[in-house]
Structure 1
Amino acid sequence: MKKLILLIWIGLMSFDALAQRGKFLTTEDFHQLAFPNQEMKWQALWVNKTLRVDMEKILNHSVRGLRIRYWGHENRTAWIFEEIGKELPITVGVVVDGDSIDQVHIMEYRESRGGEVRYPFFTKQFIGVKLEQKEERVKLDSHIDGITGATLSVRALKKIATLALFCHQQTPFGK
């Protein structure tokens, strides 16, 4: 009987971990949310040495690659970034309109915990958020409430939101 209860408990815990993970939005679906019924080609933000240093300050780790792909039209851009939560990457789509965030979508979540960051009660906190220059660093101008048990995922999303706003400013659409 004890073995049966243990197996049931392990099964329920495994199910809970799997419920956190998943692919929730494709690139094409994100594009349609950002730019409904508009066909657009990817643009490239070329990462020079100065830009790389600024991006590394935001992320607090090294940045690889020579370019970042995004979509842009008028004063609106859409970005797809990945950032490590606790151990695995979280894929996030961010739409910036003007100088503030318009949408944040968790496209794929791979961690076993902290998946609550994908729900609107959390992501809607980013809507309307802008960048603020604080001494030598840029940061979000609004407080983002955390989620118990999802601290590292919340940090990852705050970094991605900051990075999207910063990168938007580097494009012709953000100037």
Structure 2
Amino acid sequence: MPAVVVFALLMVLQFVAMSPVQAASAGQYLTVDEFLSLGFGEDAKPEPKVLWLTPALKARIKTIRGKEFPLLRVRYWQLGQKTAWILEEIGKEMPITIGVVVDLDSADGKSLAVSRVDILAFRESRGWEVRHDFFTEQFKGAVLVRDDILSQHIDGITGATLSVRAVKQVARIALLLA
């Protein structure tokens, strides 16, 4: 059998073997309503609001992202001091839809801190591990410190570097917007 044919068959077998894994990793994990129920409680029904982004705010977001933020306004939900933000950030090639709930820091009761991070939709073939609690729980209690950096270290995941970076950026942006 010619080497080209063998190579082609191996490529087809590799694709077939990977397809179920890729199909299982990408997908819709939470709807907006489910995320809001987790963040605010099942009985709470906060109304959506809109935050118009000023040039100064867009500049700070650009510093976090390393590129322009494409939106002029951002929709969010608020109930008392607690806000919920649903933002998208590119992992490697596709957007990841990430929800972040920001509330008063339980430690000091004054500053705003992350109280919840959830992956609503993941569209990449790699890096889907960021949706699991072992990763998202690391963000609880994080606040912004100098230069819009998170106050605590977030451990990465081998093979999910770009997805981890995307979630960290969205958490920073949500804290900034809150």
Whether TM exceeds 0.5 here: the answer is yes
- RMSD after superposition: 1.7
Instruction: Tell me what 1:103 maps to.
Output: 116
* Amino acid across the alignment from 2:53: V
Instruction: Tell me what 1:171 maps to.
Output: none
Structure 2 unpaired stretches of 5+: 1-5, 105-111
Structure number, greater radius of gyration: 2
CA displacement, residues 38-94 of structure 1 (integer Å, 9 cap, x when unaligned): 122111111111111111111111012221110111111000000000000000000
Worse-matched range after superposition: 102-111 or 65-74: 65-74
Tell me if 1:157 matches 2:162. Answer: no
Instruction: Tell me what 1:48 maps to.
Output: 54
Q: State, as a whole percentage, how many aligned pairs show the same letter.
A: 45
Among 27, 33, 51, the residue aligned to 2:32: 27
Taking the aligned partners of 1:14 and 1:157, their CA distance within structure 2 comes to: 25
Tell me if 1:116 matches 2:125. Answer: no
Taking the aligned partners of 1:32 and 1:109, their CA distance within structure 2 comes to: 20
Q: Secondary structure at the match of 1:79?
A: strand
Change (3 A) 1:102 1:7: same
Q: After TM superposition, which residue ranges in structure 1, 4 or more long, deviate above 4 angstroms?
A: 2-9
Instruction: Tell me what 2:149 maps to.
Output: 139
Q: 1:5 Cα deviation (Å)?
A: 8.1
Q: 1:13 Cα deviation (Å)?
A: 1.0
* Amino acid across the alignment from 1:52: K
Identify which of structures 1 and 2 has the higher relative contact order when contacts are C-alpha pairs closer than 8 Å and 6+ apart.
1
Report the TM-score, using the length of structure 2 for normalisation. Answer: 0.86
Taking the aligned partners of 1:138 and 1:116, their CA distance within structure 2 comes to: 25
Change (3 A) 1:7 1:56: closer
Q: 1:24 Cα deviation (Å)?
A: 0.2
Worse-matched range after superposition: 3-12 or 18-27: 3-12
